[in-house]
Amino acid sequence: MSGSPAAPTLDQVFRELRERRGWARERSDRPLSSKTMLIAMLPRTGSTALCSLLEATGVLGNPREYLNPRGPLKPWARRLSASDLDEYLDALRRERATPNGVFSFKVLYPDLAPLLGRTPITELIEAAKFVYLTREDGVAQAISEYIADRSGVWHRDSDGEPFRSRGGGDPDPPYDESEIRKRLDALAEAGADWEQFFAERSIEPLRINYEQFVADANAIVGAIARHVGVEWEGELSLEGAATARLADHRSKRWAQRFRGARGL
């Protein structure tokens, strides 16, 4: 939406890696994971904070956006010495599972859709427990995405420093009702895509929204553990998450302005 160059596809990323085969390393002899958790998500739903807490349990995998070709996929494929999707998923299931055999990852529907029908993805989906992460306040979600995209800062750590973010954008983007509306519509479309995906495969995901997570992060982590079939007893909170909330007074003012203009 920001006019950036088209992102590379997963196949393009692996093609480039094959051409630079000098980084190959010895394969792991660790066993394949025995459980898979797929976090189906929408943008700006607290997924990074949630996944940092899931990782902190030590029993719910190490969920990242491993299938995101715009960033995480290439460094992870390079680190794991994978030159195609089959090698990559095999290596992830060996290297990134927790000791109890749980492999987990999070994914946006547009990153998963091009891979549907490929054997390794099909097998992973068929065996996975699904968690679906959404947000009740769609206006706040759209505003958050707009500000993050324009500023280049998608997350900040507890000290306020950019976390896994490129930065370099406009730190104070102007209010743009048209852009917020476009993002709100796109979020609704992405939600409909996930719902169709679940319906076509008779999948009943554990449904969690951002507001529930913020209200009681520990309860949400516990619910996910039970859903996956993992025993876990602990005490976690948002204060221990890798990222801090970005919403501020500007976000609230914009939400009120947008709703007022739209009669919402």
Q: Average pLDDT, stretch 91-100?
A: 97
- Which residue has tokens 């602990």? 234
Whether 1 is covered by a domain: the verdict is no
pLDDT in tens, 124-135: 999 999 999 999
H or E stretch covering 209: strand 206-209
Cα 120 to Cα 259: distance, rounded to the nearest angstrom: 44
Q: Is the pLDDT of residue 165 over 70?
A: no
Rounded Cα gap, residues 104 and 88, in angstroms: 14
Q: Is residue 5 part of a domain?
A: no
Instruction: For residue 81, tell me if it sits in a domain.
Output: yes
With a CB cutoff of 8 Å and minimum separation 6, the contacts of 191 are 42, 134
CATH number of the domain encompassing residue 242: 3.40.50.300
Instruction: Say what the pTM is.
Output: 0.89
pLDDT at 78 over 80: yes
The answer to whether residue 128 sits within a structural domain is yes
Indicate the average pLDDT of the chain: 89
Question: Which residues constitute the domain of residue 186?
Answer: 10-262
Helices (H), 128-216: 138-151, 177-200, 210-215
How many structural domains compose the chain?
A: 1
